[in-house]
Amino acid sequence: MDATAANLLLAHHRAAARDLPWRMTPRDPYRTWLSEVMLQQTTVATVTPRFLRFVERWPTVEALAAAPEAEVLCEWAGLGYYARARNLIACARAVAERGGFPRTEGALRKLPGLGAYTAAAVAAIAFGEDAVAVDTNVERVVARVFGIKDRRDAGEAARGWFPAGRHGDFAEALMDLGASICRPKAPNCPVCPIAAHCKAQALGRPEAFPAPKLKKERPHRHGIAWLVRRGDEVWLVRRPGKGLLGGMAALPGPEWGEERPAINAIAIHHHGFTHFTLDLMVVPRAEPPPGEGWWHAVSELAAAGLPTLYRRAVEAALEAEREPRLAA
């Protein structure tokens, strides 16, 4: 494909780029990196207010590196995919130790938690390197423009399409196009600036590109969460540093398993993780189990840093406790 479509898209982007708080001029590599980590599997609408809170509290990578891990994990609560938060802390500390972010894709890949996409995005957007950042939006736009079914081939086609010296701008132009016009469903082809150059649109079925991913059936697990009350306080613990929800605040309870426990719960919260689903059964308990933990006021649970799984489980349990009194 010639450069015409790329130039049209760049011109459209100059006129219609999304106004996002991490798109400063000149670009701040800290904000670029932080936004890219937050945006993994999370929408711009969800990330934007949380990003602003992060940079207000920790305005530099050095400030984030010096922050207590528990405070960062608490601030991350609700964003999901909590391994990102642990990698965020490790990366910030590595960057602060070396005196700043490296400027190349290859060097960025050596930082904790930076995969191929994030390293390419930071290198291209923050440092102007000709690195090709291909996220889901970019992959979809490229697949449609070139009429490619296989997502892996779309990534390869992108490498030959990005204009030299403009990789950062072009990546953001593709991301914005994929988010606002070239959507997964009901793409708005009539307003697309490169519709005349799009093979999928010419075929009259842009939604067929790329081919949909095959969804695997997720296994189901069961778990118990103990609700220990002391007046208007609830007993919380911190999960082990490694593994799912590592280092996050939580209700105490045994490990989850495939067998449903024979136990009466006051509330059951159904939750979907990437690789499995879970029924978390909330069960009252008179005393805290052995181990470290702390009493936290129910009225201040929003500040406890509970991940969504436990926050909703507690809310369901407290609502179940109130129901008899409401009925009376």
Give per-residue pLDDT as tens, 165-216: 999 999 999 999 999 999 999 999 999 999 999 999 999 999 999 998 888 8
* Residues forming CATH 3.90.79.10 domain(s) in the chain: 220-327
Q: Which of 36, 75, 105, 139 is catalytic?
A: 36
In this predicted model, what pLDDT tens digit does every residue of 58-104 receive, in sequence order? 999 999 999 999 999 999 998 888 889 999 999 999 999 999 999 99
pLDDT at res. 242: 85
In this predicted model, what pLDDT tens digit does every residue of 279-318 receive, in sequence order? 999 999 999 999 999 999 999 998 899 999 999 999 999 9
Instruction: Classify residue 83 by burial, with Cβ atoms within 10 Å: 0-12, 13-18, 19+.
Output: middle
**Closest alpha carbon to 75 in 247, 243, 303:** 303
* Residues forming CATH 1.10.340.30 domain(s) in the chain: 4-208
Q: Which CATH number is 4-208 given?
A: 1.10.340.30
- Strands 294-297, 267-272: pairing is unpaired
Helix (H) or strand (E) holding 235: strand 233-238
Out of 3.40.50.410, 3.90.79.10, 1.10.1740.10, 3.30.460.80, the CATH code matching 220-327 is 3.90.79.10
Clarify whether 75 is annotated catalytic: no
